[in-house]
Amino acid sequence: MATPASPDVSPVAPALPGASATPATSRAPGSLPAFRTQGLPPATPPASNSLVYDVSGQAKGMNYQASGTLDWQHDGQAYQAQMRVSAFMLGSRTQRSAGQLHATGLHPDRFTDISRRERETRFDGEQARIGYTGIAQQDPLQTGAQDRLSIILQLASRFNAQPPAAGQRMSFQVVGASSAEPWDFEVAGQENISVPAGDFTAWHVRRVLRREGDPRLSVWLAPELDHMPVRLILVQPDGDQLEQALRRLP
């Protein structure tokens, strides 16, 4: 999820050669290559929604309070998601994910990260490659790959189709603005939590760290909201951290 005014580390340049600028919602249904969905469990995306969060954290040693909005829209065949966090003095950061929906859930076509500048990642299903704005490097596109925004919504989609169990583990290729890496998640269990929007019983899911220096991520997904996130905590290796707590529904 987005954090305000995060440091930029990736260079900028043209998008993936031959990539189309056509919006995801105009893509023909069923055009996903078979390898992108093969062997994946069923998933049922949450209903379209817009959620508002209170955001607090620390960036570069400075404590901040901010507001965040998660906009999630789909028509059953394609989806668009946007997470925007705005903090006074620190600026804003926006992450967008757009792609196709399938019986196995979300399959991103592109991921956009905007803070001081805009960077875009393209998922090329025909070539089974991932390309990054301004970086010659490309990575192999794996089955079930997600970006750093869609992963939360894909977890929700999996849980909508089949309720999780405490101790359950899941693995995904998760793609950012300049790299792709494997992420493992563990279902810690159901917890009763209080956020400004009210009290919820939610599934606590946390990232299982593979090595020292991995960001720590915990998210709480509420069944009564189609497993949309009601709380999220992200802690970076440098000490920067962010907490999002649901403030209100539309």
Q: Which domains does the chain have, with CATH numbers?
A: 28-248 (2.50.20)
Q: pLDDT value at position 88?
A: 66
Dmax of the chain from CA atoms? 48
Check: CB of residue 22 under 8 Å from CB of residue 122. no
Q: Which 3 state secondary structure label does DSSP give 216? A: strand
Q: pLDDT value at position 230?
A: 98
Tell me the residue type at 105: G
Tell me the residue type at 61: G
- Residues of the chain with pLDDT below 50 are 5-29
Element (H, E) at 150: helix 150-161
Torsions phi, psi for 160 (to 5 deg): -65, -35
Q: pLDDT value at position 1?
A: 59
Calculate the alpha carbon distances from 32 to 45, 118, 157, 206 in Å. Answer: 17, 26, 18, 29
pTM as predicted? 0.87
Distance, CA of 13 to CA of 49 (rounded, Å): 33
Torsions phi, psi for 7 (to 5 deg): -65, 145
| Both tokens assigned to 105 | 């859930």
Q: pLDDT value at position 249?
A: 81
